[in-house]
């Protein structure tokens, strides 16, 4: 089974449509996972944006599973997950069906697909928080909480771990490591500390789950690395995906081999 992976779309309708069309035209993608910053509930026409995504998913019969990013409408997500419809009997959260083919996955959600086990751990700190307005385009609940990390670790091993943020060095791609080391946007120290807290939490979760593959977005750069996590008997492949329509925003994951059947990313 082939699984589509899509990086940050940042609310750009044309990018979302193009990505889904490229995957759909392959003819072998029934499920795709979007790695956060869909920008759910954002923008001048959030319903029209979702309608355009749903239209492409319906045309190509693709189920789109979206993990949460930092740039989502967290007030809306929090309100939806407070509704009993999107909770299990034990209070754990269920995926929100925002359209017939489109779901938002809660942090720590696990599922099985194509003979593989998956865990999703979305969210990240917004490094541009100082440019945003709380309650308008930024909400504190964007950030991972310790309870999310502990629940994810307690769930144990998964073959594939999908995150929004990246694990830290030495468990990240070279392109992400360059950004972490150089701070190219010149963010102030307090923002870097906020970002580092999210990276540290994701890293602990990755080390606890010990997956064979981690795929993430957030940094908007494509890359690939192979690492050995502590106390494991296998290597772990790390994929960072680019954003919008940039090269490396799409990848295809062969669930039999946990590799990309293409020599290069789709686009």
Q: CA 173 to CA 165: how far, in whole Å?
A: 12
Is there a domain that residue 225 lies in? yes
Question: Does any domain span residue 208?
Answer: yes
pLDDT of residue 181 exceeding 50, the answer is yes
The answer to whether position 216 is within a domain reads yes
Nearest partner of 162 among 230, 110, 219, 87, judged by Cα: 110
pTM, full prediction: 0.96
* Average pLDDT of the residues in 131-140: 96
86 located within any domain? yes
Residue 262 lies in a domain: no
- 160 in a structural domain: yes
Tens-digit pLDDT profile for residues 49-83: 999 999 999 999 999 999 999 999 999 999 999 99
Decide: 202 and 144 in contact? Cβ < 8 Å: yes
Domain assignment of residue 193, given as a range: 2-254
How high is the pLDDT of residue 266? 46
Residue 254 is predicted with a pLDDT of 98
Q: pLDDT, tens digit, for every residue of 214-264? A: 999 999 999 999 999 999 999 999 999 999 999 999 999 999 999 999 855
Q: What is the pLDDT of residue 267?
A: 45
Which pLDDT tens digit goes with each residue over 93-130?
999 999 999 999 999 999 999 999 999 999 999 999 99
The domain that holds 117 is classified in CATH as 3.60.21
pLDDT of residue 262: 81
The number of distinct structural domains making up the chain is 1
- Percentage of the chain lying above the pLDDT 90 cut: 97
Q: Determine the angle formed by the axes of helices 46-60 and 13-26, rounding to 10 degrees.
A: 10
The rounded distance, in Å, linking the Cα atoms of 115 and 123 is: 26
Inside any domain, residue 192:
yes
In a domain, 267, yes or no: no
């Amino acid at each position: 089974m082939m699984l589509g992976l899509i990086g940050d779309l940042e609310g750009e309708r044309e990018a979302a449509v193009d990505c889904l069309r490229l995957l759909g035209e392959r003819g072998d993608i029934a499920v795709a996972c979007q790695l956060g910053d869909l920008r759910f509930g954002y923008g001048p026409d959030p319903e029209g944006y979702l309608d355009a995504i749903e239209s492409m998913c319906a045309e190509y019969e693709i189920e789109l599973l979206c993990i949460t990013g930092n740039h989502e409408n967290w007030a809306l997500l929090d309100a939806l997950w407070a509704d009993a419809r999107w909770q299990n009997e034990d209070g754990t959260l269920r995926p929100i069906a925002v359209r017939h083919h489109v779901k938002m996955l809660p942090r720590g959600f696990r599922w099985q697909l194509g003979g593989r086990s998956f865990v999703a751990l979305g969210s990240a700190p917004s490094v541009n928080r100082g440019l945003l307005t709380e309650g308008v385009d930024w909400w504190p609940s964007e950030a991972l909480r310790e309870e999310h990390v502990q629940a994810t670790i307690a769930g144990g091993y998964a073959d594939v771990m999908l995150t929004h943020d990246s694990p830290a060095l030495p468990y990240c791609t070279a392109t992400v490591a360059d950004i972490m080391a150089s701070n190219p946007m010149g963010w102030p120290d307090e923002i870097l500390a906020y970002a580092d807290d999210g990276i540290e939490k994701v890293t602990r979760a990755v080390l606890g789950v010990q997956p064979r593959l981690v795929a993430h977005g957030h940094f908007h750069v494509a890359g690939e690395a192979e690492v050995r996590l502590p106390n494991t008997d296998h290597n772990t492949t790390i994929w960072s995906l680019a954003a919008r329509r940039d090269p490396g925003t799409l990848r295809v994951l062969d669930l039999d081999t946990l590799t990309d059947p293409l020599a290069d990313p789709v686009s």
